[in-house]
Structure 1
């Protein structure tokens, strides 16, 4: 009897499948003021409508939790988005049916660094996926090519001045020695 129940449980889980949420990358690195695309994939069910799809994505840091994206019954809920991300997050509606959530975050800030958790709830299951984003500050630098050109010009002029000075000293020395 127990074997029959266990077999039934195993067969049921194999037939119904397991709902899975994955990230395409577990860790991202970006610079301040650049853009990035975060992507999660999840199990789809062709017999389910997008009206049963709920997605909640947030940034979790040591200090607080911020809502990045919220989709309720297939409709985006922008008013639940944290002010930190207002106007900077876009999503691809076209790939959602394929079981992909692609979020484009623009004009990154160092405070966007942290753990991103995306929870997906459907009529056939729920799960979550997480990834890390590290945003580094950009350091003010002069363009590399202009800096190198200036350095090479300076070195060239210094070398030319030294050679001209040596030539003048040599000429002066030769002219004094011819008088003897």
Structure 2
């Protein structure tokens, strides 16, 4: 009797679809304006009647909203770009080769600080689905140090030298003018 129950359980598990989704890394640290790849590993073993793969990846906001922004959507093996939130438009690409190997690899470019948050990716077939979550933490870009102006001492030296040259030129012109206008003073 026990052998029959075990045989029934093992046969049932082979026929039913199973879907498992694991996150490869969490949290993902990143800096603003950089690029990152979010990755989930999945395994599906669909039965003969369910062969389609559906994937939906969303940003789960801290505040509850009716429709969380969609990062990526694949329905029956076809990308549905119309359902992608405008916030991610043109910034998210899926690695199609990785899908065939059981990996969801989403390349997100030009990161923004408001991209930070909890991302949930749901993978499923017609019969079964599973989801995994990962956290992305985007920090503000660090400003590069600006070149420092020349030291005040050097600037003061240049100003002083320029003033001395101007004073010498003015004095020379004054004496040249006064000597020309009063020729008697030469003697």
Q: Note if contact 2:58-2:121 (Cα within 8 Å) is conserved in structure 1.
A: yes
Task: Classify 1:81/1:115 alpha carbon distance in 2 versus 1 (closer, same or farther; 3 Å).
Answer: same
User: 2:55 aligns to what?
Assistant: 55
Q: Does 1:41 align with 2:44?
A: no
Q: Give the distance between the partners of 1:48 and 1:31, measured in 2 at CA.
A: 45
Which entry has the higher C-alpha Rg, 1 or 2? Answer: 2
Q: CA deviation at 1:8?
A: 4.6
Q: Which residue of 1 aligns with 2:80?
A: 77
Contact 1:23 1:130 in 2 (8 A): yes
Contact 1:50–1:73 at 8 Å: present in 2 too? no
> 1:30-179 residue pairs with structure 2 within 5 A?
30-45=30-45, 52-63=52-63, 64=65, 65-123=68-126, 125-142=128-145
**How does the TM-score come out when normalised to structure 2?**
0.67
- Greater helix percent: which structure? 1
Contact 1:54 1:74 in 2 (8 A): yes
For 1:19, the equivalent position in structure 2 comes to 19
* Distance change (3 Å), C-alpha of 1:49 and 1:30: farther
Q: Distance in 2 between matches of 1:6 and 1:46?
A: 23
Q: How many residues were matched structurally? A: 148
Q: Judge conservation of contact 2:50–2:127 (CA < 8 Å) in 1.
A: no
Change (3 A) 1:132 1:14: same
Q: CA deviation at 1:66?
A: 1.0
Which runs of 5 or more structure 2 residues have no equivalent in the other structure? 155-187
Instruction: Report SS of the residue matched to 1:95.
Output: helix
The 1-side partners of 2:131 and 2:10 are apart by: 24
* In structure 2, C-alpha distance between the alignment counterparts of 1:95 and 1:48, rounded to whole Å: 23
Unaligned segments of structure 1, at least 5 residues: 158-180
Hey, what's the Cα distance between the residues in 2 that align with 1:49 and 1:73?
13
Query: TM-score, normalised on structure 1?
Result: 0.70
